[in-house]
Amino acid sequence: MSSAPPRTGTFNHVQLVEIDSDQAGQRIDNFLRTFLKGAPKTLIYRLLRKGEIRVNKKRTKPDYKLQANDQIRIAPIRLPEKGEPAPVSQGLLALLERSVIFESDALLIINKPSGIAVHGGSGVTLGLIEAVRKLRPQARFLELGHRIDRDTSGCIMIAKKRSMLRFLHEALRQRTVYKSYQALVVGRWESQVKRVDAPLLRDEHRSGERTVRVDPAGKASMTDFAVIRRFGDTATLIEARPKTGRTHQIRVHTQYCKHPIVGDVKYTSDEMNTKFRQLGFKRLMLHAAGLRLTLPDGETLQVRAPLDDSLVTLMDKL
């Protein structure tokens, strides 16, 4: 029976899929979105409603949770063409291979370069997860365990098994994945500022841009900070340890302290960003430096992602 996701296009034959124990437990609509790459949700729901997709020869609803040994029958369908997928250059593949900082049969952790979105969409033709699927073509399952912003570099976890993805999501929900970041902020960060406890509220603008601000009506948000290195009154390299996982949390908490992150086009003034660009800092200076978690077998995994050598050199010149 088929197990690997088909390509976008026309499928003139019936697809038969048998669910293994690692795939069990997920909703069938979520499984099909991964299996039928390029298929919109509306198409998947229509196929389920019409009985074009059946489980164990019976019609099923989108919220049905798959069980081990379930047999899925997918009738011949045509998926909408969206053009050829963006090619992945050998240079990018080589960079990502060098950026692997941990790999097992269930988990892959990469030191993501700045400027690469974690997944395609919203005008991005190629994301990290699409590139990693090219990097590890033999892997049957590869999904993001979490996300970091496009311009943030550093640790990103990618599950190589459905069971690991479920484990990571639960660990993140329980806040048992400990993350540390490094950020170069404008000005002199005072050592006594060790914790910021300020609620964050998301704003959706008519243009589609999303920003976040400190607001009493927002969600509880807390970040611990420590000074790593000062560069006079010009800038400070700090460590940030988020205790909650809000959108743009570190970026907004540092701005709230009047020390925004260098290169942040949303929360740092154009004047200040221009000043640092002239010094060679041409990216958001936020880096996911480390992760610590206890794996399902009880082993404690701790990884560190080094800052790019070119950034260290630039900071030395400060």
| pLDDT tens sequence across 302-314 | 999 999 999 999 9
Residue type, 86: A
pLDDT at 6 over 70: no
Predicted confidence (pLDDT) per residue in 19-44, tens digit: 998 888 889 988 888 888 767 777 88
* CA 133/CA 164 separation, integer angstroms: 17
Angle at 256 between CA 251 and CA 259, to 5 degrees: 70
Look up the CATH architecture of domain 90-173.
Answer: 2-Layer Sandwich (3.30)
pLDDT at 45 over 70: yes
pLDDT at 197 over 70: yes
pLDDT at 104 over 50: yes
Q: Which residues of the chain does CATH 3.10.290.10 include?
A: 10-75
Pairing of strands 153-159, 286-294: parallel
Mean pLDDT calculated for residue range 235-252: 96
Confidence of residue 81 (pLDDT cuts 50, 70, 90): low
From 22, 70, 149, 264, active-site residue:
149
Confidence of residue 80 (pLDDT cuts 50, 70, 90): low
Mean pLDDT calculated for residue range 204-222: 87
Q: Distances in Å between the alpha carbon of 241 and those of 10, 137, 183, 196, 287?
A: 48, 34, 11, 10, 12
Residue with the bigger pLDDT between 87 and 74: it is 74
* CA 29/CA 43 separation, integer angstroms: 10
Q: Verify whether residue 149 is a known catalytic residue.
A: yes
Confidence at residue 82, expressed as pLDDT on a 0 to 100 scale = 53
Confidence at residue 225, expressed as pLDDT on a 0 to 100 scale = 98
Predicted confidence (pLDDT) per residue in 110-122, tens digit: 999 998 888 765 4
Q: Which residues of the chain does CATH 3.30.2350.10 include?
A: 90-173, 178-317
The per-residue b/e assignment along 275-313, b for 16 or more CB within 10 angstroms, e otherwise, is ebeeeebebbbbbbbbbebeeeeeeeeeeebebeeebee
Look up the CATH architecture of domain 10-75.
Answer: Roll (3.10)
Output the CATH code of domain 178-317: 3.30.2350.10
